[in-house]
Amino acid sequence: MDLNALVAEASGILDAAVEPFLAGHRADSAVRKKGNDFATAVDLAIERQVVAALEHATGIGVHGEEFGGTAVDSEWVWILDPVDGTFNYAAGSPMAAILLGLLHNGEAVAGLTWLPFTDERYTAVAGDPLMKNGVPQPLLTPVTLADSLVAVGSFNADSRGRFPGRYRIALLENLSRVSSRLRMHGATGIDLAYVADGILGGAIGFGGYVWDHAAGVALVQSAGGVVSDLSGRPWTPESRSVLMAAPGAHGEILDIVRATGNPEDY
C-alpha cells in the first residue's frame, strides 16, 4: 500500500465533509446511545458520506463509530469518528473534530485529524513526520510535567466502571501537585492531536474506543511522542484507556498513575 497516496485520497474526502460539518454546528441529538451519549444527524450523515467515498476511492473497508462496518481486526481498515466531541458540537463549542485512522493488522499506520472550526488539518504516515496543514512539524523534544499542559477526560465523580470517578479525582489531585495546568476539553481526538503538535505535554483518556484513539496514535507516534494505555502497556485497538505524552512527561505521568493505586480500590 502507498500510504501517502491513501492519505492524500482521504484528505480530499475529509475536506468534502467540512462544509456539512460546519453547517450542522449546534445540531440536536438524533440517536440516543448508551448512558447519556448521543449522535447528531451530522454524525450519521458524515459517516455515510465518508465511508462511501473512502471505500470507492481506496478499496479499503471502514469501521465507523455510528454504524460499525469492516471488522477492526481486518488486515487493512479505516477507523472513523465523524464527530469527535459530539457534546461540544451540539452545544456550539468549536472543540470538535473529524478523526480517521488507518490500521494495518492492528497497527495505526496513518492518521488524519480535521478541526474544521480552527481550520487545522493534521496528517501522519508511519515513518514520516507529522504534517500540520501540509507543513512538516519538528519532532517533540523532552518536556517536564511541571511545565506542561495536560488534558484529561471528563467524568462524573460518582461514576463506577473500570476507572471510578473517585479514582479519577485522586489521580487529578496527584497530577495537580506537579502540574497546575490541567485541561478538560471533552474531545479525546483533539487532545491527542495537540499532544502531537506540542501544545499539550500529555493527555489522559479514562475510556474510549478505537475510533477515539486510532488517528491520534498515528499522529503522536509520527511526532516522536510516547503512546500507551494507562497501565503503561502498548496501545492496541482493544485498549480502553490512553496515555499519550511527549518524552519525559509520559514517564512522569505514568509514575503518578501508578502511585495513585488500583482503580478498583476506589
Which of 44, 46, 54 has its CA nearest to residue 22?
46
238 is in an annotated binding site: no
**Type of residue at 211:** W
Number of Cβ within a 10 Å radius of residue 55: 15
147 is in an annotated binding site: no
3-class SS letters over 72-99: CCCCEEEEEEEEECHHHHHHCCCCCEEE
119 is in an annotated binding site: no
Cell numbers linked to 217: 496514535
Q: How far apart, in whole angstroms, are the C-alpha atoms of residue 227 and residue 143?
A: 15
DSSP-assigned states of every residue in 25-84: TTPPEEEE-STT-EEEHHHHHHHHHHHHHHHHHH---EEETTTEES-TTSSEEEEEEEEE
84 is in an annotated binding site: yes
Q: Using alpha carbons only, give the angle 108, 110, 112 rounded to the nearest 5 degrees.
A: 120
Percent helix, strand, coil in the chain, to 5, is 35, 25, 40
Residue ranges for the binding site for Mg(2+)? Answer: 65, 81, 84, 212
